[in-house]
Every structure is written in structure tokens, then in C-alpha cells.
Amino acid sequence: MCAPTGPEVFPGYSSSAMSEAVVPDALVSPAVGSMYGEKAGGPTVDFSYVGIDAILEQMRRKAMKQGFELNIMVVGQSGLGKSTLMNTLFKSKVSRKSVLATAQEKIPKTIEIKSISHDIEEKGVRMKLTVIDTPGFGDQINNENCWQPIMKFINDQYEAYLQEEININRKKRIPDSRVHCCIYFIPPTGHCLRPLDVEFMRRLSKVVNIVPVIAKADTLTLEERDFFKKKIREELRANGIDVYPQKEFDEDAEDRMINEKIREMIPFAVVGSDQEYQVNGRRLLGRKTKWGTIEVENIAHCEFAYLRDLLIRTHMQNIKDITSSIHYEMYRVRRLNENNTAVAHANGIPEHHLAAHEM
């Protein structure tokens, strides 16, 4: 829009009167107030400013009101520090053991899926965090098909969301129980992946974002750790396992550059601790040993900080977007095709007619 050039743009209206009419003081928003300067003759207006950038503030306010949801699944054998790591990540007691502490937990005979939700708030931002634990995974003598209950749970959450979505009178905001990320804990053997690890990640990477971590990495020397990480990356490539962040979902060159650095670090060698210690006058989370304190957030000691940044500070929204637009969408398309096929069979429509129609 061009600024008025003559003394009278419209008959009967002076330029000063028009300025007051177009932008009365009461309507100048705080977001764009800096665009308006004051001179001796009254306020001057930047007529080239439209205000499109104000959408960012509108989105921020709406998001702050609604809050956020994040659903994280942790999978691994007992004793690998899953609960401790989750407590360390969110600096609060969000683990299964913290809430449901018992005198002595028995190893379940089958895999149990346990979900615990918490409302977390930081600097006015509210988030509903759900931690899904899988006690019993990999603890049996025969672990054949032990991934099936986990796969069923993930698909059940997709199904619940789909049923809410296709309701005629659906909710304005559908509760999201879909698993956004699965942290898979690899035992710190220092050698290679077990067949169980390969089979689980190969199957589950097709339905959920998997982030593999080497648990209790302080049991390995730095040389052993680097060798183990390199070996795992080779095995993931050899078995066609795509862990998060997947290459095909890089949106542009900048994303590709950032994600390549992350892919070179995977799996993250992590150490978890919810114990605080005093080291050189600083309070920090760590594990105390006879030869010193392992600092959880010190990148020279372990890669916990990189994992936290990926899950929370840099890629949380992307993890949720991929869950919704890729994994859930694939499930949705498959289920709706199944429903269409079933209806067609019930109506006596030949299958080749249906296939031709879908093409």
C-alpha cells in the first residue's frame, strides 16, 4: 500500500485527519507499536507495514494456552537405568519406580506396558509428559516375538486416535496418546548388537521414531565406546534400520547438515543419575566413584546432553510431526483401505474392480 502523496486523498479528508482515522491510538497493538514514531506535528505512520509477522505471537499465545503433549516409550532389559535416565532428562520423578515403588519387584513373565502421565511446567510452558515403560522386555530365557506386545500397543494408540478422528461429532482437540518416540536401551557389551536388538529395531522403526542409546556407558572405556558406536552404526546400515532422524525426512540443506551430525553420534552413549554432588564448588548431577565423579551433563564424560537437546530442545516438534504425518498416516491409510476392501466384499464387488478404482 502506498502512502498518500497529496494534501487530500479523498474529498473532504485531510492527510492528518486520515492518519488519525486509519490508526487511532487505541488500536495500535504492542506488537507493532515500535513502528509508530511521534514528532512535533503528531504521530507518523509506516504505511508499508502490514503486520504478517504478528502471526508468530498469536501462535505462541495459543500454544501457551493449550500446552503440549509428549509421549516417550522406553524399551530395554531390566537394570539398564531406564527409569533413572527419564528422571534425569526431565529433572523430576517421572519414572515408573518413583511413582509405584514396591519393596521388591519381580520380573514379569510377560511384557507389561505401563504408562504414567505428569503435568510439567517450566517458565509458563505446560507439557503433559507420558512415560511408557515396558518391564519384562528381553528378560526371559526365550525372547522370541517379545516385540509383539510393544508393536500392538503402538498400533492401538494409532487406532484410538483414528477412531476419534473419524467420528461424526469429533472432539475439537483429540487427546494424543500416540507414541512420539521410543528410546531403545542397548546393553554396554562393547561388542555388537544382539539378534534381539536388531529384530526389535528393524520391525519397530517402521511404526515409531526410534532413538537408540548405549545404557550405562560409564562401564566402557572411551576407546571401547567409540568402537561399539561405530559397530552399531554399521549393523544398523547393514540391516536397513532407519533410526531417528531419518534421512528421507530432512526438509532442506540446513536440516540435512544438522541431522548428519546427529546421525554420526548415534547411538548416544549415556549415563543417568538423579543424585546431586558438589564438584569444584558446583552442584551437578553425577555418579560418584572411587576415582572421581562422572558428570552427567559434561559432554567429555558422556553424551546425555546431546540426547536431551535432541529430544527436548531442538527436535521435539519434528519428532511429533513425523509421528503424525508419516507413521500415523501410514497406519491410517492401511486401515481405511482395509475397511474399504471389507465393505466392497460385503457388497459383492470383485477385488480387481476395487484395485482398479484405487489406482
Summarised one tens digit per residue, pLDDT across range 20-69 is 444 444 444 454 444 444 455 567 777 888 889 999 999 988 888 888 99
Say what the pLDDT of residue 260 is: 95
Separation CA 244–CA 319 (nearest Å)? 8
pLDDT tens-digit map of 292-317:
888 899 899 999 999 999 999 999 99
Say what the pLDDT of residue 96 is: 57
* Average confidence score pLDDT of the chain: 83
Give the mean model confidence (pLDDT) for residues 141-164: 93
pLDDT tens-digit map of 220-261:
999 999 999 999 999 999 999 999 999 999 988 999 999 999
Say what the pLDDT of residue 281 is: 84
pLDDT tens-digit map of 200-215:
999 999 999 999 999 9
42 to 10, 29, 39, 262, 314: CA distances (angstroms): 20, 18, 5, 55, 46
Calculate what percentage of the chain has a pLDDT beyond 90.
Answer: 52
2 pLDDT more than 60: no
Could you tell me the three cell numbers for 60? 505462541
Q: Is 80 exposed, middle or buried (0-12, 13-18, 19+ CB in 10 A)?
A: buried
Of residues 95 and 332, which shows the higher confidence score? 332
Name the pTM for this structure. Answer: 0.80
Q: Assign 3-state DSSP to the chain and report helix, strand, coil percentages, each to 5.
A: 45, 15, 40
